[in-house]
Amino acid sequence: MAGWIMIILVTLALPRPLYRIFFHPLRGYPGPLLTAVSSIPYVYWTITGVLHARIRELHDLYGPVVRLRPNALTYRTPEAWTDIYGYRKHGALPFSKDPEFFTPTAPGSSHMVNASEADHARQKKLLAHAFSDRSLREQEALIVGYIDLFIERLQEYADSRQDVNIEKWLNFLTFDIIGDLAFGEPFGCLQGSEYHPWVATVFQSIKTGACMRAMAIYPPLLKVFCTFMPSSFTQKRVAHYQMSKDKVSRRLATETARPDIISYIQRYNEDDERGMLRAEIETNAAIIIQAGSETTATALAACLFYLLKHPVWLARVREEVRGSFKDGESITFSAVSVLPGVNAVIEESLRLFPPAPAIGPRVVPAGGAMVDGGFVPGGISVSVAHYSAFRAASNFIEPDSFRPERWLEHKGRFSGDRREALQPFSYGPRACIGRNLAYAEMRTILAKILWNFDVELQPQSASWDDCKSYIVWEKGPLWVCLNKSV
């Protein structure tokens, strides 16, 4: 009897896998048989933090496009960036975000990450003022003030000859900066030399969200996860947005001439049709805190890590910085932006260790579209895999080597690099709005560290970049020894 039940169950289960293998519109795309019939491998790779690495392995095995799930493709070519994320021909809108990946919020409380096309355009128009070159110049003194306080804190470690986990201090710095820009007040991480209770929950909130999003493909699995998930995880996610709401309320009730993100929203928030609702300001502030702190700190830590692993480049960039400025105070946004070595190191670090290493899926519109030279049916989820594209031998010579010179040479061995494949801030109208701010922070912070200190990597952090990812990296400590340069 049990045997007949098994035969019946297998027979009932067969039609869907058979369809996905032999009759599905994506049947001709390469990839493992298991990912063609099931999303279970994708879910497993996500919750174990290895999605970025597995996607790269699949691309190395199957080529520029891979069937990652029954209804999903990933690419690693430069052309895919424009086809998937850019504006389309004849005035057609770019592909929409995959709702299975970007969970919608309640009406009237969307944010830049998951908003509809219309809401995103409206919100971005307002927020663009806060991240423009003009606003960056107005905010420079405020930002540099925090960077100088950061340097003071590091000098205490240099004086005492204590090793320091500089990754933690970079997080302190970027959280304080973005907190002041978003809410008109810092989190006090640098002053207190510790994480604000809210800041300490940010990564866990991102990690939990990544796992829940993957498991939502199988609702029963998500239900089980939510049943056994510690209640503190959910509480932290709720607390994150509640604290954002409270801080926005306090900021809106405060009259100030200081330039911050709220001040720009208020300045241009003309009416209900073109402006932002109160709930939208609150959710966008919460998202900006996550995106504007964790990713910038990660990129800076990667810059230091790779420099410290490559003494020749460390000496070269340190000499460039110290030869360009008479003192630390003369290191400004504009002055450091033209240093070729600093910029090359940042680009190469973003390539090897992108702050968001996996995918940002989009949905092909009804009727289908051409992606990277091939037709993809409507409703299919498509994306460019950051880590895979940035480390593809088809895009970059010596893809796993730290070679900042590839960003300086227009001829020679790296002339065949497809530099346009590197899009760490994504591409198109939904690309990261804080790109200019991030580059200004990274250049200035890196230059001030190299100006003030001789830095040595400690042995326990020799494999710092070997870590898991959950949308962002689950990083360990980056231990260094600091010696004053003067």
Known binding residues for heme are 432
CA angle at residue 321 from 320 to 326, to 5 degrees? 115
CB count within 10 Å of CB 250 equals: 12
The helix (H) or strand (E) run that includes residue 68 is: strand 65-69
Burial 57-68 (b: 16+ CB within 10 A, else e): ebbeeeebbbbb
Q: Give φ, ψ of 468 to 5 degrees.
A: -90, 170
Name the token pair of 84.
Answer: 């998937």
Residue 181 contacts residue 164 (beta carbons within 8 Å): no
**Separation CA 429–CA 230 (nearest Å):** 38
CA dihedral 286, 290, 296, 302 (to 10 degrees): 170
Please enumerate, by residue number, every residue annotated as part of a binding site. 432
Contacts of 242 (CB under 8 A, 6+ apart): none
CB count within 10 Å of CB 129 equals: 15
CA angle at residue 111 from 107 to 117, to 5 degrees? 80
